[in-house]
């Protein structure tokens, strides 16, 4: 494992590779690593000669300064977790390295950047694209690995890569869950023991929704799931929506989509968790 702190060093490392044909995998993260991140890193190591993992809590993608302030950070623990992997380069830049002056670009891609996370977290995806462009330009990876846990982020990045005619191959990776079904997330560490006990309910609800596809319309399902959360005072539902996983358009009929997805964001106290499920078998 090699640690790099600046974009300049990263570009130098990239140029110094003795085999110019070596394939480079890239896993961008915000650190506080868990087994979800590790699954992406191990897949990248299987499919590439070398892998870059970035650890950077990107300030421009936080619409809520309190969330940014309290986002878990654990560089020491992260490096300890990665220390035994060969062929791994850790890119650990300071904020001033990535943002020598304040900036944020704008990215508009129809419904993708105006619905769900984009609507509830204004500017979030502009911040994601701002940092992804910088990181992609320094790493120049062949394949970049993203989790389906952040399903909309994955779609936004895929759409940006096509729009910008970039050569990186975007590789979606399945959501890794705790044994009780809770999707692994760095934010889970911030849950109180009581909240942590309740949190698997999010995935239970998604599975219950999936089991009812044959008996309810998308609109009925949305009303039902929203009502279920009214009986759980620890939770505050931000959204539960059924969309087409390709266009992100809301679904009127199941037959309108080959990839119906249930998307959820929910607050437990001030901790906001997201999850999703494909409502048919063919994907995610
Ligand atoms: P983050 O550090 O939360 O920005 O996540 C970095 C990458 O890891 C993103 O591509 C996420 O989608 C992915 N990721 C986060 N949690 C999980 C999970 N539970 N399973 C699979 N991938 C995940």
Q: What is the pTM of this model?
A: 0.97
Which residue from 25, 28, 29, 189 has its CB within 8 A of the most atoms of ligand 1, so it is best to mutate?
29
Q: Are residues 8 and 51 in the same domain?
A: yes
- Residue 230: pLDDT band by 50, 70, 90 thresholds? very high
- Residue 282: pLDDT band by 50, 70, 90 thresholds? low
Indicate if the pLDDT at residue 259 is higher than 80. Answer: yes
Residue 281 lies in a domain: no
pLDDT digits (tens, 9 = 90+) for 16-55: 887 767 899 999 999 999 999 999 999 999 999 999 999 9
Q: Which atom of ligand 1 is nearest to the CA of 40?
A: 22
Residue 262: give its domain's CATH number: 3.30.1300.10
Q: Are residues 78 and 33 in the same domain?
A: yes
Indicate if the pLDDT at residue 264 is higher than 80. Answer: yes
H or E element: which one contains 30?
A: none
Distance CA 194, CA 214 (A): 34
Ligand 1 residue neighbourhood (C-beta within 6 Å): 29-30, 36-37, 39-40, 146-147, 149-150, 173, 175-176, 183-186
Distance CA 238, CA 247 (A): 21
Domain count, the chain: 2
Contacts of 229 (CB under 8 A, 6+ apart): 205, 235, 236, 237, 240, 266
Residue 140 lies in a domain: yes
Residue 181 lies in a domain: no
Distance CA 278, CA 107 (A): 26
Q: Are residues 205 and 93 in the same domain?
A: no
Residue 18 lies in a domain: yes
Burial of residue 167, with CB atoms counted within 10 A of its CB: 0-12 exposed, 13-18 middle, 19 or more buried: exposed
The residues annotated with a catalytic role in the active site are 37
Whole domain around residue 254: which residue ranges? Answer: 186-274
CB 29 within 8 A of CB 139: no
Residue 279 lies in a domain: no
Q: Are residues 73 and 152 in the same domain?
A: yes
Q: Are residues 153 and 236 in the same domain?
A: no
CA of 185 to the centre of ligand 1 (A): 7
Q: Are residues 65 and 132 in the same domain?
A: yes
């Amino acid at each position: 494992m090699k640690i790099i702190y600046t974009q300049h060093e990263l570009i130098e490392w990239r140029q110094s590779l003795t085999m110019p044909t070596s394939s480079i995998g890239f896993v961008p993260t915000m650190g506080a690593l868990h087994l979800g991140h590790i699954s992406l890193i191990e897949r990248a190591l299987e499919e590439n000669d070398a892998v870059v993992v970035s650890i950077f809590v990107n300030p421009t993608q936080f619409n809520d300064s309190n969330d940014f302030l309290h986002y878990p950070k654990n560089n020491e623990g992260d490096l300890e977790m990665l220390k035994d992997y060969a062929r791994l380069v850790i890119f650990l830049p300071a904020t001033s390295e990535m943002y020598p002056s304040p900036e944020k670009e704008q990215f508009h891609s129809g419904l993708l950047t105006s619905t769900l996370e984009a609507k509830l977290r204004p500017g979030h995806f502009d911040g994601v694209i701002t940092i992804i462009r910088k990181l992609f330009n320094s790493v120049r990876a062949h394949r970049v690995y993203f989790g389906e846990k952040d399903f909309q982020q994955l779609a936004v990045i895929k759409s940006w890569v096509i729009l910008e005619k970039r050569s990186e191959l975007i590789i979606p990776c399945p959501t890794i869950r705790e044994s009780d079904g809770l999707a692994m997330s760095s934010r889970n560490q911030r849950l109180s023991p009581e909240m942590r006990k309740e949190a698997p309910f999010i995935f239970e609800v998604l599975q219950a929704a999936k089991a009812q596809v044959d008996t309810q319309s998308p609109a009925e399902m949305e009303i039902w799931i929203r009502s279920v959360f009214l009986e759980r005072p620890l939770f505050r539902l931000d959204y539960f929506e059924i969309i087409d996983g390709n266009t992100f358009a809301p679904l009127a009929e199941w037959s309108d989509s080959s990839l119906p997805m249930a998307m959820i964001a929910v607050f437990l106290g001030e901790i906001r968790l997201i999850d999703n499920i494909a409502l048919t078998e063919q994907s995610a």
